[in-house]
Chain A
Amino acid sequence: MSDALRSGGQGNPRDRILERIRAATGKDAKSATQDLEAVQSRLREHPRGPRPPFNWPELVAQFRAQASALQSTVEVVENLADVPAAIAHYLEDLQLDRRAVSWPEFRGLDWRAAGLQVEQRTVRDGDLVGITGAYAGIAETGTLMLLSGPQTPAAMSLLPDTHIAILRTSRIVEGMEEAWNLLRNEHGKPPRAVNFVSGPSRSGDIEMQIVLGVHGPYRVHIVLVTQDAGTPRELINTDWWRQPART
């Protein structure tokens, strides 16, 4: 802290820029130190701002409606074991390739019985269907939240023409703020990439006509799974994790 606030740092661009900022905002060494403490305390508290009224009767229905409005397609199954058959129907209806790559967590599913060939490996250019899970769903906007990681590579939801996401309904939260709380509670810090995905890739860059599938997937299909252990609500709603001091 003291390093950053040392005045008269003329030596390098960083110090000169920070010095100009302090001059522009009327700060001296003392007020700069006090202000930094106030800023740090605000970052620890991270208070919520106002947001639109969330008065939906049912989270999952809201998620479905919003996701559909953004051109994702959504279907619901009871158990994870039902997912391969659901995906097989989806691919068949659209006459898409029956080969896919998936995140390793879905290795145990009986894809073969559904007539699909699903490999658990890194995605390559030319793979047409990518199957991923999702960390959470956001009801406000029908958005998928994906975290990158060794078991959850980011490219699998990006390179293939078709992205299929498997999302447990217990992971659907109201808004982004609840998702941030989940992330802080379960991981502490964000992973390399947090990707919020709301429907297929699109562009309006030519004559403002919306076209789907520009660089990312042409289509996003979400399979909601209703039966599973569920996420304890305290992870979403409470601030218990703030108590243990982190350094």
Chain B
Amino acid sequence: MARMSGVRADAVAKVPNFEEIRTAGAAIRDRVLSNLDAYLFQFEQAAQARGVIVHWAETGTDVNRIVRDIAQQNGVKKIIKSKSMLGEESSLNHYLQEAGLDVRETDLGEYILQISGETPSHIIAPAIHKSKEDVGELFERVHQMPRKHTIPEMCREARMMLRPHFLSADMGISGANFLIAETGSVVIVTNEGNGRMTTTMPRIHVAITGIEKVIPTLEDLSVLLRLLTRSATGQATSNYISMLTGVRGPNDSDGPEQMHVVIVDNHRTELLASDMREALRCIRCGACMNHCPVYEVIGGHTYGWVYPGPIGSVLTPSYVGLEKAGELPNASTLCGACAVVCPVKIPLPDLMRKLREKSFERKLRPASERLSMRLWGYVAARPKLYALATKLGARMLQWMGGEDKLIHKLPGGLKEWTNGRDMPAPSGKTFRELYAEKKAVGK
């Protein structure tokens, strides 16, 4: 991830007023969220005027059913898919395959995961956890072709394997980076070109997207694109930005005959109503995970659901329930790097703190943790008692460290800490004591 954060920093440094653009980006997203009903209504009107069929889905199950029905009513057999995080939310591929449909992922990373039966570990680079040897071995086994050893050879082979599917598929499913209320358009940002293929070649295009993805105008799109691509991959622009508005005209030689947009709630209105609304500003760039020290160490799969990293720690408990994902807001050091790089200024550490408070209030944390927090809170609120307690604690830890100044075994519930390593013993004095000494010397 060091590379990802480096390229972002370089790209941002080239724009002297990036901060001003960031502020404008956050304001655009907030404006939409506070008038979301009106913007969605305008989008629907404009899209319908161009022949788009607009569907509304309240849950992931509804999304799956709607897409399956479109496929079955149109005699669809083969579906190609470009990346959609919403499809991951509802396990759309699995559902469509159960319904007897042939579904192919086409984003290279997603394709690798599909043929190896895995899920994404990053929203922009989904197969980032796999090495080129892993991919070479996988391709050899699945494609039944001679082993490839370089990445360009592997990409060429994937292109060759997927091209026939692009040309023979009846339906293309995509996500949407943005919906534009002004024009009724769906905007898709890709580098590989699979998004263009998916929305150009098959006779039916279905875009699935969350209610929060709508933005007002083409000018607002320009602002958000400048933020998105720099934050995601350090590019001033992505290779392909496609703005799709309606179906092919009578004399067009390409483009879908049917275009469907499925607008999905799936717990987003709950987030909108809560004190965590800012999370819905997210434009899915992945910068927060690229800069997260915890993500860097534990990897994307550890987050347990669709969205990893800091934004996942906020969205997942909100979408699947704090009871099931209460650990996630704690998977952070609250170092604040995510908030610094977020292109739409989502205060991610604050939101994680709110979730921690909620899980404490709802008694979702273990009794021992709640008790120790209470105890700490009691002592910390009384400066004299706090000074005494830390003084005693520091002395005791120093004593436990002994000759080699290492604690080999901590007592009771803390023993897990020292199972695989030693804890360096402190000096025996508290910070406050040291500070007082320094100050005295200074005089």
| Distance, CA A53 to CA B128, complexed state (A) | 35
Give residues 198-232 of B contacting A (CB, 8 Å): 199-201, 211, 216-223, 225-226
Chain B nearest CB, measured from A211 CB (Å): 4
* A215 with B192: CB separation less than 8 A: yes
Contact B217 A43 (CB under 8 A): yes
Which residue from B194, B236, B239 sits with its C-beta under 8 Å from A197?
Answer: B239
Contact B38 A52 (CB under 8 A): no
Q: Smallest Cβ distance from A98 to chain B, in angstroms?
A: 23
Is B437's CB within 8 Å of the partner chain A?
no
Question: Cβ of A96 < 8 Å from any Cβ of B?
Answer: no
Our pick among A38, A66, A125, A177 for the contact of B163 (Cβ within 8 Å) is: A125
A123-151 to B contact mask, C-beta < 8 Å, 1/0:
00100000000000000110100001110
Which of B20-28, B86-94, B383-391 binds A?
B20-28
A180 to B221, CA, bound (A): 11
Shortest CB–CB separation between residue B22 and chain A, in angstroms? 10
Say yes or no: is B343 at the interface (Cβ < 8 Å to chain A): no
Given A13-B57, A193-B242, A216-B193, also A53-B222 (CB < 8 A)? no
CB distance from A215 to the nearest CB of B (A): 4
Evaluate contact between A198 and B237: CB separation under 8 angstroms: yes
B327 within 8 A of A: no
Contact with B along A189-219 (1 / 0, CB 8 A): 1111111111111111111110101111100
Partner of A192, one of B135, B162, B255: B255
Residue in A16, A27, A155, A190 whose CB lies within 8 Å of B201: A155
B152 on the A face (CB < 8 A) = yes
CA distance A177 to B112 in the complex (A): 37
| Shortest distance between the CB of A127 and any CB in chain B (Å) | 12
A68 in the interface, Cβ–Cβ < 8 Å? no
Q: Within the complex, which residue of A18, A143, A191, A193 is in contact with B41, where a contact is CB–CB below 8 Å?
A: A18
The contact of B196 among A27, A153, A154, A180, by CB within 8 Å, is A154
What's the minimum C-beta distance from A63 to chain B, rounded to whole angstroms? Answer: 13
Does B303 count as interface, using CB distance less than 8 angstroms?
no
Neighbouring B residues of A201 by C-beta, 8 Å:
191-193, 239-240
Question: What residue in chain A is nearest B36 (Cβ atoms)?
Answer: A21
Interface residue A42 (Cβ < 8 Å from any Cβ of B): yes
Would you call A185 an interface residue if the criterion is a C-beta within 8 Å of the partner chain's C-beta atoms?
A: no
Query: Across the interface, do B216 and A43 meet the contact criterion of CB distance under 8 Å?
Result: yes
Which of B243-251, B315-323, B360-368, B405-413 contacts its partner? B243-251
Which of B3, B131, B151, B254 is within 8 Å of A155, CB to CB? B254
In the complex, A99 has a CB within 8 A of chain B: no
Q: Which residues of A contact B272 (CB under 8 A)?
A: 20-21, 24-25
Note all chain B residues with C-beta closer than 8 A to A42: 216-217
B16 within 8 A of A: yes
**Is residue B126 within 8 Å, beta carbon to beta carbon, of the partner chain?**
yes
CB atoms of B192 and A209 under 8 A apart = no
The residue from A27, A47, A204 contacting B37, defined by CB atoms under 8 A apart: A27
Q: Quick check: is A10 within 8 A (CB to CB) of the other chain?
A: no
Interface: A85 (CB within 8 A): no
Q: How many residues of B contact A (CB 8 A)?
A: 101
Question: Is B374 an interface position by the 8 A CB rule?
Answer: no
Query: A61: CB under 8 A from chain B?
Result: no
**Residues A206 and B200 in contact, CB atoms below 8 Å apart:** no
Residue interface bits A31-50, CB-to-B below 8 A is 1, else 0: 01001101110110011111
Contact A66 B219, CB 8 Å, known A21-B40, A205-B127, A208-B125: no
Q: How far is the CA of A107 from the CA of B412 in the complex (A)?
A: 84
Could you tell me if A189 and B183 are in contact, using CB atoms closer than 8 angstroms? yes
Looking at the assembled complex, report how far the CB atom of A180 sits from the nearest CB atom of chain B, in whole angstroms: 4
What is the bound-complex CA distance between A122 and B252, given in angstroms? 10
Residue B332, interface by CB 8 Å: no
Contacts of A32 in B (CB 8 A): 37-38
Instruction: Give the nearest-CB partner of B135 in chain A.
Output: A206
Partner of A176, one of B158, B222, B242: B222
Q: Nearest A residue to B128 by beta-carbon distance?
A: A208
Interchain CB contact under 8 A, B245 and A209: no
* Pair B245/A192 contact, Cβ less than 8 Å: yes
Is A242 close to B, CB under 8 A?
no
Query: Whole-angstrom distance between the alpha carbons of A177 and B220 in the complex?
Result: 10
Q: Which residue of B lies closest to A143 (CB)?
A: B237
Q: Are the CB atoms of B233 and A214 closer together than 8 Å?
A: no
Task: Mark out the residues of chain A between 159 and 191 whose CB falls within 8 Å of any chain B CB in the assembled complex.
Answer: 175-177, 180, 189-191
Q: Which 7 pairs of residues, A with B, have the shortest CB-CB distance?
A: A216-B193, A24-B273, A150-B251, A205-B109, A49-B223, A46-B217, A20-B269
Known: A25-B36, A201-B191, A205-B107. 19 other contacts (CB 8 A): A20-B269, A25-B272, A32-B38, A39-B39, A42-B216, A46-B217, A48-B222, A52-B16, A66-B236, A141-B236, A153-B253, A177-B222, A194-B242, A201-B193, A202-B239, A203-B109, A203-B191, A215-B159, A215-B163
A-B contact pairs, 28 of them (CB 8 A): A4-B37, A12-B56, A17-B265, A18-B41, A20-B269, A20-B272, A21-B269, A22-B37, A40-B38, A48-B222, A125-B167, A150-B252, A154-B255, A155-B254, A189-B50, A192-B244, A192-B245, A194-B242, A194-B243, A195-B196, A201-B192, A203-B155, A203-B191, A206-B112, A206-B127, A208-B3, A214-B158, A214-B191
Measured CB to CB, the residues of B under 8 A from A are 3-4, 14-18, 20-21, 24-25, 28, 33-42, 50, 56-58, 62, 106-109, 112, 125-128, 130-132, 135, 151-152, 154-156, 158-159, 162-163, 166-167, 181-183, 185, 191-194, 196-197, 199-201, 211, 216-223, 225-226, 233, 236-249, 251-255, 263, 265, 269-270, 272-273
